[in-house]
Structure 1
Amino acid sequence: MPHILENATLKGYNTFGIDVSARWLSSFGSQEELTALLRDFSNRPLLILGGGSNILFTRDVDGLVLRNEIKGIEVVREDGHYVYVRAGAGENWHVFVQHALQRNWAGLENLSLIPGSVGAAPMQNIGAYGVEIKEVFYELSAYHLDEHKVYTFSLNDCAFGYRESVFKRRYKGQFVILDVTFRLSKVPKLHTEYGAIREELDKMGIEKPTIQAVSEAVIRIRQSKLPDPAQIGNAGSFFKNPTVPAGEFARLRDAFPGIVGYPVDGGVKLAAGWLIEQCGWKGYRKGDAGCHARQALVLVNYGQAGGREIYDLSEEILQSVKARFGVELEREVNIIG
């Protein structure tokens, strides 16, 4: 049975570095350990915690917090084109990406250096630089908390959308992801057209990039734009990029000629960071809560900010963007409070 701590701090288990406590704190490294913990703490409020990189605590947790530490990476099968790789939900995401790159398995290179765990990746269909998890996802195993049964979810079952899946809406709080299987390519199809990847590759002097070179370019770009959570508490992008109808974008472009938008299915996706910056928030700081100086999408904890302070700042940002542009932003970070 895993060790159980009482009234334990969660400061080291969330990348914002918010100092809240859990009534009970433990971890599980297998389905059997999870089952035992759930049996001993039946009818108690429960929170499953992965890497803690997409969460904001605004209060103490009066219940059981369980850290998912299921590990393991294995090839389950392969064919002439693909390798099917299963990873435990508790594996560090970037470590898993590097594991794949070292073996020339392609598809994850644009998702390098994203904080968090493997199990959290499909929950919100993580994406970066033109690639989303759904493009390399094959299936996952998830444990139903009430039925105590394991279900397999296919690509269609997960209903992936922009930073969305069935685990964030329809099945929120009902399942614990145990492992995820990815379909990685033996023949790379590089995505270098998004953002500054091509420019960064040119700076690196690379004319014919490999998946390893694309990964390195992505890492350099992320490090130049985003603060390291080990240095400044943050959860990466705090807000989603909103999508508006094409007609609404035309109106906004007339009123704000510099507005940034990209055509997508259903309309035009706006750059939330641009909207926030235009409202004067970039580099803003009040106490130890602030908006990062290099990337307006990132809210930060400079040291001793409470979760409520950061949440209140996000609310002010939402309201100011709505007032100026008529656009409603949505938080990407999960709020516990």
Structure 2
Amino acid sequence: MLVENNVALQPLNTFGIAARAHSLARVRDEAGIAELISQLAGQAPALVLGGGSNLVITGDIKGLVIKVEVSGKRLIEETDKGWLVEAGAGENWHGFVAWTLAQGWPGLENMALIPGLVGASPVQNIGAYGVELQDRFHSLDAIDLRSGQTFSLDAAQCGFGYRDSVFKHAPSDERSYGLAGCAIITRVRFLLPKPWTPVLGYLDLERKMAETGISEPDAMQIFDWVVAIRSAKLPDPAVIGNAGSFFKNPTVTPEQCADIIARDPKVVHYPMDDGSIKLAAGWLIDACGWKGKSVGNAAVYERQALVLVNKGGPEHPCTGGEVMTLAKAIQTSVYERFGIMLEPEPVVV
């Protein structure tokens, strides 16, 4: 375990926001985490940091920041149902997806190029192009920051929802199972199903099928398509600082959707299995005229209104305050036009 003082956080968050941590501990295995917890003596860290890809920092962090760097990838077992694979929380998510496909284990291809680390994937219940993490999730290991005890959770215990899990909710009382700020995820396991079937229901993938003439793509072809689609729409954080999709796609009732369609027939919407309708938040933001607009050095990406970016670069980075001022202005604008309050995806600290 390595503990550093007065650490610059700008290179550790994909938005590139300049801030500092009073102290930062890098933990690379379960023993290091246990040692750190014993030193904390019941005090919670200020922040548990993975890849910093879903984060808006609004100022210097006075307490301890824990940087999770647990590595490792392996196949646990292969059965008639599928491949059970495991990755350390510090593994790069996209790299892990590519690795599973290289081994001949399909199932994660629709979630290619999502930024961040494996350990953050169940926290956010990440998803893209018709597949969510909960669809492939098996279980995870974590360490309780209060007691130092190791525990495991299955999918039901994680309480997955749309971009949601128990790790995003603080325990309100002794009976609550919220785990925000209470645990560090160390390893995550996925069950990649047999037989594999492609998930192709999104318009962008249908367009790729039409363009290429490939009507029955394999998993690697879908992976390549998703990478191409996301690369065309979304900025590379290494080039333009950002936190990926900034707002969740809202869900509405069919009646609410019909009312919006009556006023805006081109609204992008998708029916859900539970009867609700998912609206494309990026389309709503674009319809309100926000694409390319800015507050200070925080701006709405000109190619995709769902993404807020650091247009000042590393030399003149935007502040967390500018990002949140822009986000709140967008929320107000969308609510006034559509009656929908957009919910941000990133964690704000």
TM-score, normalization by structure 2: 0.93
Distance 1:130 1:334 in 2: 23
User: Within the alignment, does 1:328 sit opposite 2:333 as a pair?
Assistant: no
Distance in 2 separating the partners of 1:48 and 1:30: 15
1:158 maps to 158
Alpha-carbon distance between aligned partners in 2 of 1:320 and 1:216, rounded to the nearest angstrom: 36
Specify whether residues 142 and 44 from structure 1 end up closer, same or farther in structure 2 by C-alpha distance, changes over 3 A only: closer
CA displacement at 1:193 relative to structure 2: 2.3
Find the counterpart in structure 2 of residue 296 from structure 1. Answer: 305
Aligned residue in 1 for 2:147? 147
Residue type of the alignment partner of 1:125: N
- Give the conservation status (yes or no) of the 8 Å contact 1:104–1:186: no
% same residue: 44
Q: Which residue in 1 is equivalent to 2:175? A: none
Aligned residues: 335
Report what 1:244 is aligned to. Answer: 252
Instruction: Give per-residue Cα distances to partners, 1:213-263, cap 9 Å, x unaligned.
Output: 110000000000000000000011000011112222222222222222222
Q: How does 1:1-337 map to 2 (within 5 A)?
A: 2-42=1-41, 43=43, 45-169=45-169, 170-204=178-212, 206-264=214-272, 265-302=274-311, 303=313, 304-336=317-349
* Cα distance in 2, alignment partners of residues 215 and 261 from structure 1: 24
CA distance in 1: counterparts of 2:77 and 2:134, whole angstroms: 19
Note the alpha carbon deviations across 1:58-97, whole angstroms, 9 max, x for none. 1111111111110111111221231101111111101100
Which amino acid letter does the alignment assign opposite residue 234 of structure 2?
Answer: L
- Render the CA deviation track for 1:188-234: whole Å, top value 9, x for unaligned: 21112213113224434544411111100000000000000000000
Give the partner amino acid of 1:248: Q
Question: Are the equivalent residues in 2 in contact too, given 1:89–1:178 (CA < 8 A)?
Answer: yes
- Contact 1:104–1:211 (Cα < 8 Å) also in 2: no
Structure-2 change in CA distance of 1:45 and 1:136 (3 Å): closer
Deviation at 1:268, TM superposition (A): 1.4
Provide the residue aligned with 2:173 in structure 1. Answer: none
Whether the 8 Å CA contact 2:334–2:340 is kept in 1: the answer is yes
Counterpart-to-counterpart distance in 1, 2:82 and 2:185:
23
Aligned-partner Cα distance in 1 for 2:251–2:85: 33
C-alpha displacement at 1:285, in angstroms?
Answer: 2.5
Q: Distance in 2 between the 1:16 and 1:38 partners? A: 29
- For the residues of structure 1 that align with 2:59 and 2:76, how far apart are their CA atoms? 42
Deviations 1:270-303 (A, max 9, x none): 1111111111101112332100001000000012
C-alpha distance in 2 between matches for 1:162 and 1:195: 20
Give 2:118's aligned amino acid. V
> For residue 15 of structure 2, what is the amino acid of its counterpart?
F
Q: Distance in 2 between matches of 1:30 and 1:59?
A: 29
Q: Which moved more, 1:258-267 or 1:96-105?
A: 258-267
Name which of structure 1's ranges 236-245 and 77-86 shifts more when overlaid on structure 2.
77-86
Q: CA deviation at 1:174?
A: 1.1
Describe the SS at the equivalent of 1:167: helix
Cα gap change, 1:44 to 1:185, in 2 (>3 Å) = closer
For residues 143 and 108 of structure 1, what CA distance do their matches in structure 2 show? 26
* C-alpha contact (below 8 Å) 2:37/2:148 kept by paired residues: no
- In the superposition, the TM-score normalised over structure 1's length comes to 0.96
CA distance in 2, matches of 1:45, 1:323: 39
1:273–1:295 contact (8 Å) kept in structure 2: yes
**Structure 1 stretch 157-166 or stretch 242-251: which is displaced more?**
242-251
8 Å CA contact retained: 1:88, 1:180? yes
Q: Which moved more, 1:63-72 or 1:42-51?
A: 42-51
> What amino acid is the match of 1:190?
P
- The residue type paired with residue 272 of structure 1 is A
Deviation at 1:44, TM superposition (A): 5.7
- Report SS of the residue matched to 1:296: coil
Amino acid corresponding to residue 296 of structure 2 in structure 1 = G
Task: Give the conservation status (yes or no) of the 8 Å contact 2:295–2:323.
Answer: no
Structure 1 counterpart of 2:330, one-letter code = I
Structure 1 counterpart SS, 2:222: helix
Structure 1 gap ranges (5+): none
| Residues 89/45 of structure 1: CA separation in 2 closer, same or farther (3 Å cut) | closer
